Structure 1
Amino acid sequence: MPLAAVMADVLLAPWLVILPLAGALLAGLWPAAARWWGLLTALLTLVMALLLALQVHAQGPVILDLGGWAPPLGITLVVDGLASLMVLMTAGVGLAISLYALGYLGGTDRGRWFWVLWLWLWAAMNALYLSGDVFNLYVTLELVVLASVALVALAGGAAPLVAAMRYLLVSLLGSMAYLMGVALLYGAYGTLDLQGLGAQVVLSSAPMLAAVLMTVGLLAKSALFPLHVWLPPAHGSAPAPVSAALSALVVKVSFYLILRLWLTVFPALPLSGLDVLMGALAAGAVLWGGLMALRGPRLKQVVAYSTVAQVGYLFLLFPFLRAHPEGWKAVVFFAVAHGVAKAAVFLAAGTLQRAAGHDRLAELGAVMRGRLKTSFALGIAGAGLVGLPFTGGFIAKWLLVQTALEAGLWIWALVVLGGGLLAGAYVFRLLGPAFEPGPADRGRPLPAVMEWAPLALALLTIGLGFAGSPALSLLARTLAGGGG
């Protein structure tokens, strides 16, 4: 029997939420074996995510009413190309983070709490990607934020705690704005279902105000310039596996939600003016984040500010949505390529920091020369961030530039190209100490998995350089415009 036929009878989507939740519960109940429960959960979740992507690619999108209860009483899952690709990216990066955490945290008490929170975060992200109504999206988004804040504070000390509280306060403000938008939509249309709203929303004051509130609230959570002030301290202060999860995965959650809303709920609303504003903010993010990364004296600080810059590319979404009906697919592929490359960079940075006992760039040369696998991973993943050939970043930026030129948006093509030059400059800063003359020193002894996990992700960055066509084919199976 063909694989697609076998999978047709299996409800895969709920298991992508159930598995991480069960893993978190088992890690909490048996703390001595928490890391092994975490690793097993990560492996199983990746398998389920891959099967889900294959199922959607073969059969097209599906809307599931859990327990047979239809909206508004039931919980609806939307399983389409966009959701399944984001779930698959999260699973691939999540497995690498889990492997890395085995060595980074070991069997420590802090490690026990990491596994509970990390698996809880993973379950919340998968639930958000698959949720089919705007209120469940709000609930899952809050679960993502609460788990992320706790993970930032897990590092201990004053700086991580302050960073975590700043992150929490900004996120709460964003949540209030989003929830007000949900209330407006429910008051106007009497439903919260994505497809039902998409079929009813027309140009009027209530959905316009709801769209503004929900988008602005999510922009704060996405850390788009100038609402980015919480991101560098939070990502730079957190433990390395947490930094990788935050920069590679968590910032994509709010972006995904904005994209889902504008594809499904608000396609009837005009983007005139909004596209220019969002494009300007995106360009500001690319420029400001790149310049701050060029000035940062510490490795993780440079990588954190590069996230500010890279987030900017995601919000070229709005000019593309208005001028090119398929342009959002290029932005989503960029989000996937960035997620893999940025996780590799943060994990490699964590290895160098742990080996050297610090992350001062000017003093890392000896350790970088002594740990060539880690430096190699940093270089390959950095090439992905720049957008050099044979990496997923190259395909992503090629698609962005191609989309901009096809739509006559040459100014946004220049932003992408200029951002690539800035990225090249700060990635060279990261790698520069390795090429300085001097002795090599491996520094403190570390588990081998702390070098192999970032290297595996870096090689996956190259693999994505050949995965543009399958990814775009999967994205073609995305529900939009009220189910159209």
Structure 2
Amino acid sequence: MLALAVLLCLAVGSHGPLEVAVGGWAVPLGIALGADGLSAVFVMTGAIIMPAVALFARRAFGSDPAETTQSFTFWPLFFAMWAALNAIFVGRDLFNFYVALELLTLTAVAMVAYGGTAAALRYMIFALMGSLAYMTGVALLYASAATLDIGLLSEAIEPDRAVVLAGGLMTAGLLAKTALFPLHAWLPPAHGNAPAPASALLSALVVKASFFIIVRIWFHVMPDAQSPWLVQTLGLLGACAVIYGSLLAIRQGRLKLVIAYSTVAQIGYLFFIFPLADGSAFALPWAAGAWTGGIFHALSHAFAKAALFLAAGLIIEALGHDRIADMKGIARALPMTMAAFGLAALSIMGLPPSGGFMAKYLMLTSALAGGQIFYALVMIAGGLLAVIYLFRPLNAAFAGSHVPEIAPVPKARQTIPLALALIATIIGLASSIPYQFLQIGLPEVLEGGTE
């Protein structure tokens, strides 16, 4: 899959946006798949993170007779999840998005159930309600335009009340799956209790898939239907998520819950692209920068969060728990693991030279250039709060001179989160590559900002 992702990126880089009719039947009779810069970078992100998590999970879901049920079910769920993610990233049809989302939800809920049925049930309830809202919106849109293909929809629909209502319903459903505040209640227990490989996949990729569809809807299908109240509402919810999630992360005593609430906070940044690149600003250069910065944040966050959750999983294996207060000296016992945690934390904090820094720099400069000081202040506050909640486990890990007794952790497994954390840093140093890719197939409403 990594080779195919590389070939896809090369093809998109050489020829621009691609589209193919499945089975030779052109839309609207058939189904089209497509790839632009946005699709290519998400497919590549998944093609790197999924194999890394698979290598990590071989020990946790191997051939241990005591875990035969989980070992038997994890791998089909894993590959089904990967297929669903790719179907979303190259999808061109709103109904096919729904089908892929349902498959993604099924696999994610099942993985969460490994750590507790209560968390999985809560996740399933939120996901099913989100699916109902999304599909209702899709039905309304089909009634208005008689097609669900993204390209045809963008040409056929007018921003009337029915279309706006459809967009609102689809967005509300997808927000529940993305876990944007206040629809985030399922995320902390799901991520905090699931096995480390499942937590890494959920935070890095699963919640990004529904965000990906939201971007497709509002920037590619119905950009003319955006209104000031919509973009500001999404932006304000994102701001609440940044502050609320960060404050709760500070209060947590378990490492995985700190990382889980950090995900709640970091998701909020993604929705700043809506007020920072709204309809009144499309002609300005910083609008495209805000959009690119938001997508760049999704990518850098994926690598950093996968590294953090896998590092936390190794700490749990070594100590038997993830209580921050009882982690003193773990850095001396697991130096590679804590190096991975520290590097990934730099990206979440938004410190240079990480990918998180470049993403937040693009959004921050866009906010300042556009006079949206409120969002700039929230980003700065969110960065400071991230320093506080991530410094706590780092401080505990490096405190004291005593080396705790731990269960053996193979160094080969420790290299996996370290490699992901290094990628989260490298994409900041080589940010021009993903930045240029994200300009391929840039939404038409933003193209004026790149001239």
Is the shorter-chain TM-score for this pair beyond 0.5, marking a shared fold? Answer: yes
Q: Which of 308, 325, 330 is the matching residue for 1:345?
A: 308
2:153 aligned with 1:193: no
2:361 aligned with 1:405: no
Structure 1 residues 136 and 482, CA gap change in structure 2 (3 angstroms): farther
| Structure 1 unmatched ranges of 5 or more | 1-44
- After TM superposition, the score normalised by the length of structure 1 is 0.88
The one-character-per-residue Cα deviations of 1:223-257 (angstroms, maximum 9, x if unpaired) are 00111000000001100000000001111011100
| Structure 2 unmatched ranges of 5 or more | none
The one-character-per-residue Cα deviations of 1:307-338 (angstroms, maximum 9, x if unpaired) are 00000001112102303541211100000000
SS in 2 for 1:341: helix
Do the aligned residues in 2 keep the contact of 1:367 with 1:440 (CA within 8 Å)? yes
Structure 1 partner of 2:91 = 131
SS in 1 for 2:34: strand
Do the aligned residues in 1 keep the contact of 2:329 with 2:398 (CA within 8 Å)? no
Moved over 6 A (4+): none
Structure 2 partner of 1:71 = 27
Could you tell me the percent identity over the aligned residues?
A: 46
Structure 1 residues 425 and 269, CA gap change in structure 2 (3 angstroms): same
Do the aligned residues in 2 keep the contact of 1:278 with 1:315 (CA within 8 Å)? yes
Map residues 387-406 of structure 1 onto 2, 5 A cutoff: 387-406=350-369
Structure 2 partner of 1:449 = 412
Map residues 102-181 of structure 1 onto 2, 5 A cutoff: 102-108=58-64, 109=68, 110-155=70-115, 160-181=116-137
- After TM superposition, the score normalised by the length of structure 2 is 0.94
State the 1:50 CA deviation: 1.5
2:201 aligned with 1:245: yes
Do the aligned residues in 2 keep the contact of 1:114 with 1:154 (CA within 8 Å)? no
Do the aligned residues in 1 keep the contact of 2:330 with 2:398 (CA within 8 Å)? no
SS in 2 for 1:197: helix
Counterparts of 2:417 and 2:390, CA distance in 1: 16
Do the aligned residues in 1 keep the contact of 2:218 with 2:226 (CA within 8 Å)? no
The one-character-per-residue Cα deviations of 1:87-130 (angstroms, maximum 9, x if unpaired) are 11111111211111123333232233211111110110000111
SS in 2 for 1:64: strand
The one-character-per-residue Cα deviations of 1:364-413 (angstroms, maximum 9, x if unpaired) are 11333211110111011001100111111111111111121222222211
Counterparts of 2:363 and 2:351, CA distance in 1: 14
Instruction: Say what the alpha-carbon RMSD is for the aligned residues.
Output: 1.5
SS in 2 for 1:228: coil
Q: What one-letter code is carried by the residue in structure 2 that aligns with 1:434?
A: A
SS in 2 for 1:63: strand
Map residues 345-364 of structure 1 onto 2, 5 A cutoff: 345-364=308-327
Q: What one-letter code is carried by the residue in structure 2 that aligns with 1:389?
A: P
Structure 1 partner of 2:256 = 300
Counterparts of 1:320 and 1:475, CA distance in 2: 17
- Structure 1 stretch 91-100 or stretch 248-257: which is displaced more? 91-100
State the 1:79 CA deviation: 1.0
Structure 2 partner of 1:27 = none
- Counting matched residue pairs gives 436
Q: What one-letter code is carried by the residue in structure 1 that aligns with 2:95?
A: F
Counterparts of 2:226 and 2:78, CA distance in 1: 39
Structure 2 partner of 1:368 = 331
Counterparts of 2:405 and 2:345, CA distance in 1: 21
Structure 2 partner of 1:54 = 10
State the 1:449 CA deviation: 2.9
Structure 1 partner of 2:54 = 98
